[in-house]
Amino acid sequence: MGISILTVCYLVGSITFIIGLKMLSSPVSARKGNLIAAAGMSVAIAGTIFLYKDDNGEPLHNYGWIFSGLLIGAIIGTIVARKVKMTAMPEMVSLFNGMGGACAALISIIEFGHAIDHLKSSTGIEVIQTSYQNDFRIFLLICCAGLIIGSVSFAGSMIAWAKLNGKIRDFAFKGQHLFNIFLLLVILGLASYLIGSLPAGGKMIFYLIFVLSLLYGILFVMPIGGADMPVVISLLNSFTGIAAACGGFLYNNMVMLTGGILVGAAGTLLTILMCKAMNRSLKNVLIGSFGAKTPATQAGHPAGTYKEISVSDAAMVMSYAHKVMIVPGYGLAVAQAQHACHDLEKLLENKGVDVKYAIHPVAGRMPGHMNVLLAEADVSYDKLLEMEQANEEFPGIDVVLILGANDVVNPAAKNDPSSPIYGMPILEVELAKTVIVNKRSMKPGYAGIENALFFQPKTSMLFGDAKKVLQDLIAEIKSL
């Protein structure tokens, strides 16, 4: 009876994962979908703890360790999630994703160790086949896959976290891409040798694969530039899902397998979409062949003269416009200015101005960063336009207000073949009648690339902290 109930628990968990993932596709239902998936996960965890029995009919033991781990993890996760700022959300996503990869790698290490111990203390491979209900070679293949993918995800996510947090900088050496490919081939070669022959030193080879996979994860992410970080986060997320699915195979756990497959598939699809948004091939992402350093001539040298606009003039222009498009960027997140931005939007609409938001798919530091930021301020989802929609409307827009965005509005992506971002689809804000750019200074954006938009005749710079500038704009517009 217990097994059948456990099967139902796993079925409920799998179904809620699918429903939750489907609901995450829309900002309107994303929060509810997240809660539904979390509830399904809770059912699956509770079922495993209280209903699972091994082949000998024995339930789980060491409940003290199990519940201690759950309690500590729940407390830490709750505190971190409540205290994290929106600007630090990408770092938290990378950190949590890395923990998932580490868990998957540890599962492979533990199960491989158990298998080797069985071989030494029992009748041999037959015992392994009985224990895991699979061919031993398939078991080794899954173990190696979980180890390699989980280790790469963990190490890469930790580097991504440190880079986003400003603790380390981009690093690359001559021929690194070729070395990365060579290292990956060595890892795959060792895994193939281990699976094919299971030599006497199998444990040492397995641990060597573990170390080399960690090294590859580090070298894979180290040279990647900041503008490409959304792609990296999405790709590493898919790695973690695949590694978790390998753990589901090892334990013959259907809910773990389903969850891992869903995360891996969703992460892969999102990675492809991110690559398309940045005009990069998946092949380049997989070998770490993107995000190169920007030449000095583009990174910091002025491209011309710019003109400034005062807060009062900007307020006047926006108040008497028919259509205003706001382009949010990381500067908005840093200033925690989303609520002030929403207040400006409501004030302008009260004056009869049509206000919308243009969202680039890789604006910010992670996929959907700007959507989450504006949702926190209760901005209507109907006002958020995707890049293709926004580009169709820019020619009819009177004023574009850019808040901290840089690379996603850089016209060099369209007209400068020498630019590192050449070919990347951008928000074509230069098609609007007037462009107002809010930045703290004229320093280049996260990718370190100078933006020619700032020096165009129709562009005016409005310097200052985004929150303070928006509050001043609101005060000026109210006084008109």
With CA atoms as reference, report the closest residue to 180 among 130, 147, 217: 217
Give the whole-angstrom CA distance, residue 352 versus residue 480.
Answer: 14
- Alpha helices (H) in 24-124, listed in sequence order: 30-51, 63-83, 89-121
List, in order, residues 6 or more apart from 450 with CB less than 8 Å away. 298, 299, 300, 301, 302, 303, 412, 444
CB 188 within 8 A of CB 209: no
pLDDT, residue 318, reads 93
* Phi-psi map region of 304: left, alpha, beta (phi>0 left; psi -120 to 50 alpha): left
CB 436 within 8 A of CB 362: no
Give the whole-angstrom CA distance, residue 382 versus residue 27.
Answer: 10
Both tokens of 339, joined, read: 């609520």
**CB atoms closer than 10 angstroms to residue 7:** 14
Give the whole-angstrom CA distance, residue 391 versus residue 160.
Answer: 31
Q: Is 378 a catalytic residue?
A: no
Give the whole-angstrom CA distance, residue 44 versus residue 50.
Answer: 10
CB 237 within 8 A of CB 94: no
Can you tell me whether residue 244 is helix, strand or coil? Answer: helix
Paired sense of beta strands 399-403 and 459-463, if any: unpaired
CB 236 within 8 A of CB 160: yes
DSSP state of 322: S
Q: How far is CA 427 from CA 49, 201, 278, 379, in A?
A: 50, 56, 12, 20
With CA atoms as reference, report the closest residue to 399 among 360, 432, 359: 432
pLDDT, residue 477, reads 92
Q: Does domain 297-479 have CATH number 3.40.640.10?
A: no
Both tokens of 298, joined, read: 């583009």
Domain boundaries, the chain: 84-286, 297-479
Give the whole-angstrom CA distance, residue 255 versus residue 270.
Answer: 22
Handedness of CA 138, 142, 143, 144 (dihedral sign): positive
Q: How far is CA 371 from CA 13, 317, 358, 423, in A?
A: 28, 26, 10, 24
Task: Specify the pTM.
Answer: 0.77
**One pLDDT digit (tens) per residue for the chain, 480 residues:** 445 788 899 999 999 999 998 888 777 788 899 999 999 999 999 998 988 877 677 888 888 999 999 999 999 988 988 888 766 777 888 888 999 999 999 999 998 888 877 666 654 444 444 444 447 788 889 999 999 999 999 999 999 888 877 788 777 788 888 898 899 999 999 999 988 877 667 889 999 999 999 999 999 888 876 667 777 888 899 999 999 999 998 888 888 899 999 999 988 888 888 777 767 676 665 554 444 444 434 444 445 688 899 999 999 999 999 999 999 988 888 888 899 999 999 999 999 999 999 998 877 777 777 888 888 888 888 899 988 899 999 999 999 999 988 888 988 888 888 777 777 888 999 999 999 999 887 776 655 677 888 998 899 999 999 999 999 999 999 887
Using CB atoms within 10 Å of the CB of residue 239, give its burial: 0 to 12 exposed, 13 to 18 middle, 19+ buried.
buried
Which is the catalytic residue, given 354, 398, 407, 416? 407
Can you tell me whether residue 461 is helix, strand or coil? Answer: strand
CA 104 from centre of chain: 18
Give the whole-angstrom CA distance, residue 220 versus residue 172.
Answer: 10
